[in-house]
Structure formats: structure tokens, C-alpha cells
Amino acid sequence: MTEAILLVGGKGTRLRPLTVNTPKPMVPAAGVPFLTHQLARARAAGVEHVVLATSYLAEVFEPYFGDGSALGLHLEYVTEEEPLGTGGAIRNVASRLRSAPGDPVLIFNGDILTGLDIPALLDVHRGSGADVSLHLTRVEDPRAFGLVPTDATGRVTAFLEKPQTPEEIVTDQVNAGAYVFRRSVIDTIPAGRPVSVERETFPDLLASGAHLQGMVDSTYWLDLGTPQAFVRGSADLVMGHAPSPAVPGPCGESLVLEGATVAPDAKLSGGTVVSPGAVIGAGARVHGSAVLPGAVVGEDAVVTDSYLGPRTRVGARTALTGAVIGDGADVGPDNELPAGARVWCEATLPAATLRFSPDQ
Ligand code: GTP
């Protein structure tokens, strides 16, 4: 049996306002809390026991997932009194693991959407005899990532901070946020203080001569840390570009969940999801967007690549592109917000005033 730790305690500051009332892993993607997709994929890979390392808004996880039996899992929850960072969070749940010292333990960041072949990563780990094995992915522009170069056998040779100059871009391989740790290695992480696994644990292990193995897997991978990425991830799940057994319906251009109301002449496309209690008005066009429970899109509104939080209202004829509308916010009719606009929870934007009159 393989067990897993999921890191779900981050504040998700880049994803605000979606994370004001909801921790990032509980923000819905394709109609269910994002974490559901990760848990379902872990289960499909043979994982049975998962420990969730919680911190920010920790209280919302257990009421939703309970003991995990609905997903065929045994779930446990461990909450940090103070956030311990990624490495500290891993160490903090060690006492809940049942694995023997030599056994592999899977660890996932709670904000990664990926088609990673989890059994293949376990095979690489076992086959190489590594202390830690890391999923690496290749990115076109590595400037925003820590780089992880490897030698010809896949052994990690360095952990490099975000490159500042072109010369520093020595590889396009980056840490993809999924690891296999030998159980005994987890016990060596310092307890009771914040530790970053990326900045402290991995470089320290490397410096001490430990064997860290990289596995480059270039299947679907997206870090859902920003609103744009989150909206894209949800749409990719709906369209079936990102694999998940937890999408609550057949994959296609749109997913309309039971209890949603869509006007017959409204157009939904690009992986749009419409949640229970949401209403899409006549003539509205919604592309690549997530419309959460109770949200209302007015007549002839045009919503593109946007996230409409629970109970939000988008007025008639309003146009949104790449927008994030926080819970309960109200964008009045005839508005055209700048691309990428974020509207805070419960905010009210009045109807746009007439911008020109016909005789001008
Ligand atoms: P930003 O604030 O937007 O950077 O997001 P974040 O707080 O989620 O940080 P980041 O994306 O770097 O976190 C990577 C993963 O580690 C996410 O799944 C987080 O939930 C998790 N994580 C980050 N810090 C902590 C922590 O202190 N405790 C726990 N339990 N998890 C954490």
C-alpha cells in the first residue's frame, strides 16, 4: 500500500479574491473542489491512505471530505498551529504515516493539475534507489521557476533559484510539485519550525550527498497558483485536456450541472462550467469560464476566460475577459472591465453610464 501527503495549507495569496473565504484546494474546478481531482487521481494510482496537511482555513476540509470513504480513501487531517511551510508541513504529519522506514511516501502540492504517471514515478524511485524522487516538467519560459538540472542518469545535480539572466537558464526542467520520499528521509526534516522543502530540504539533502532522482514527465501540467491558470485548469478539465476521474459529467465544450439554468439561446463554449443554482441569461456568451453556484449572468453579457464566484451577478450586456469576480460581488449592466480585472468579494460596481450619445 502506498500512502500520500497532500500539502493544502498555503494562503493562496496570488489567487485572491477566490481564496478569501475558501482555501485554494477547495476552490471549485470543473464543478468540484480542486482537491477532489487530486484525491481521485491518487486513488486511481493505488493510494489508499492520505494525510492532508492543513493550515489556512483548515476547518473547511473535513466537513466536505469526511473520512474519505466516498472516494475510496482513508483521509486524515493534521492542522498546523502556525504555518510550517512545505517542508515543515511534511514533517508535521510524519507521526500519522504507517509506512516502514524504507517505504515510499507520495507527496503532492495541493495546487498542481497534472497527468503525471504516478506509478511510473514510484517505479523510478524504486529502480534508482533514490532517497527522494521528483517529478520534473519542462517549461518554455523557466524564468518564474526554480530549475532542477539532472545528469545523464536523471540524478539531480543542483537546485537553482529563479534564473535572473539568460546564462543562468541551464535547463528547462522545473520542480513540478510531486515527490516520492523514502519514509526515513521525512523523519530527518527539522520538527516544530517553518521549513521550505524547495529552498532548504532539497538543497541540504543534495549537499549531504543524498540521492535525488528526477523524472521528466511532460504530460499535462499546470500550476493553478494564479487566477488565469485556475480558470484554464477548470476549462481543461471540462474539455478533457486534463485527465481526472472526478469531473462530474461527460467532457466537452461545456458542463452544465444539475440545478443550473441556461437560456436556450445562450452560448457556452471553451470548457465553461455552470454550477447548480447559477443562471445564464438570454443571448449571453460564456467561453472558457467557471460560473459558481448562484451566480447570475445577465442577458447578452459576454464572459470570456473568467471566474465568477458564488452568488456573483454580471449585469446585462457587460463584457468580462480574464476577470475574477469574488463571492457575492455585483458588476452592473453595460460595463466593460479591463482584461484581468479582479473584483473583491461583495463589491458592487454600478451600471456603466452612457459613454457616448448618438449626436456627438
Ligand atoms: P501563494 O500564497 O499564492 O504563493 O500560494 P500558497 O500559499 O499555496 O503557496 P505555494 O503555491 O508556494 O504552495 C505550494 C503548496 O504548498 C500548496 O499546495 C500550498 O497549499 C502548500 N503550502 C504552502 N505553505 C504551506 C504551509 O505553511 N503549510 C501547509 N500545510 N501547506 C503549505
User: All domains of the chain, ordered by start, with CATH?
Assistant: 3-223 (3.90.550.10), 253-349 (2.160.10.10)
* Whether 214 contacts 172, CB under 8 Å: no
Q: Tell me, in angstroms, the distance from the centre of ligand 1 to residue 317's CA.
A: 38
Supply φ then ψ for residue 112, to 5 degrees.
-110, 125
Taking the CA of residue 92 as reference, the ligand 1 atom at the shortest distance is: 30
Supply φ then ψ for residue 261, to 5 degrees.
-125, 120
Cell reading at 263: 437560456
Q: What is the pLDDT of residue 165?
A: 87
Rg (CA), the chain: 22
Q: Tell me, in angstroms, the distance from the centre of ligand 1 to residue 98's CA.
A: 24
Cell reading at 316: 446585462
Taking the CA of residue 111 as reference, the ligand 1 atom at the shortest distance is: 18
Helix axes 34-44, 227-239, angle to 10 degrees: 50
**d(Cα 178, Cα 134) in Å, to the nearest integer?**
6
Per the DSSP assignment, residues forming a β-bridge with 50 are: 4, 75
61 pLDDT exceeds 90?
yes
Taking CA atoms only, the protein residue closest to ligand 1 atom 9 is 10
Q: What is the pLDDT of residue 357?
A: 45
Taking CA atoms only, the protein residue closest to ligand 1 atom 18 is 110
Q: Which residues line ligand 1 (CB under 6 A)?
A: 7-15, 24, 53-55, 80, 83-86, 89, 109-111, 225
Distance between first and last Cα of the chain: 74
Taking CA atoms only, the protein residue closest to ligand 1 atom 7 is 10
**Ligand 1 pocket, mutate which of 11, 81, 86 (most atoms under 8 A from CB):** 86
**Ligand 1 pocket, mutate which of 50, 76, 82, 109 (most atoms under 8 A from CB):** 109
Taking CA atoms only, the protein residue closest to ligand 1 atom 14 is 109
Cell reading at 207: 549537499
Q: How confident is the model at residue 353 (pLDDT cuts 50, 70, 90)?
A: low
Taking CA atoms only, the protein residue closest to ligand 1 atom 5 is 12
Percent above pLDDT 90 for the chain: 91
Q: Tell me, in angstroms, the distance from the centre of ligand 1 to residue 5's CA.
A: 13
Q: What is the pLDDT of residue 265?
A: 97
Query: Which residues make Cβ contacts (< 8 Å) with residue 140, sequence separation at least 6?
Result: 172
Q: What is the pLDDT of residue 1?
A: 58
pLDDT tens across 4-41, in order?
999 999 999 999 999 999 999 999 999 999 999 999 99
Q: What is the pLDDT of residue 145?
A: 87
* Global confidence as pTM: 0.93
Cell reading at 86: 512545505
**d(Cα 254, Cα 276) in Å, to the nearest integer?**
14
The residue length of the chain stands at 360
Q: Tell me, in angstroms, the distance from the centre of ligand 1 to residue 356's CA.
A: 47
Mean pLDDT to the nearest integer, 103-128: 95
pLDDT tens across 293-343, in order?
999 999 999 999 999 999 999 999 999 999 999 999 999 999 999 999 999
Q: Tell me, in angstroms, the distance from the centre of ligand 1 to residue 331's CA.
A: 31
pLDDT tens across 124-183, in order?
999 999 999 999 999 998 888 889 999 999 999 999 988 888 888 999 999 999 999 999
Mean pLDDT to the nearest integer, 287-296: 98
**d(Cα 22, Cα 18) in Å, to the nearest integer?**
7
Give residue 202's identity as a one-letter amino acid code: F
Q: Tell me, in angstroms, the distance from the centre of ligand 1 to residue 280's CA.
A: 34
pLDDT tens across 193-243, in order?
999 999 999 999 999 999 999 999 989 999 999 999 999 999 999 999 999
200-226 in b/e form (b: 16+ CB < 10 A) is bbbbbbbeeebebbbbbbeebbbbbbe
**d(Cα 317, Cα 214) in Å, to the nearest integer?**
50
Taking CA atoms only, the protein residue closest to ligand 1 atom 26 is 85
**d(Cα 196, Cα 87) in Å, to the nearest integer?**
5
Helices assigned H by DSSP within the chain: 34-44, 61-65, 85-92, 118-128, 183-186, 202-207, 227-239
Q: What is the pLDDT of residue 177?
A: 94
* Whether 299 contacts 283, CB under 8 Å: yes
Cell reading at 246: 472526478
Closest of 17, 27, 19 to residue 237, by C-alpha = 27
**d(Cα 28, Cα 187) in Å, to the nearest integer?**
34
Q: Tell me, in angstroms, the distance from the centre of ligand 1 to residue 233's CA.
A: 18
Q: Tell me, in angstroms, the distance from the centre of ligand 1 to residue 87's CA.
A: 10
Give residue 110's identity as a one-letter amino acid code: G
Per the DSSP assignment, residues forming a β-bridge with 147 are: 160, 174
In whole numbers, what is the pLDDT of the chain averaged over residues? 94
358 pLDDT exceeds 50?
no
Q: How confident is the model at residue 360 (pLDDT cuts 50, 70, 90)?
A: very low
Half-sphere exposure of 150 (CA within 13 A, CB side): 21
Q: Tell me, in angstroms, the distance from the centre of ligand 1 to residue 10's CA.
A: 3
**d(Cα 354, Cα 348) in Å, to the nearest integer?**
18
Cell reading at 16: 485572491
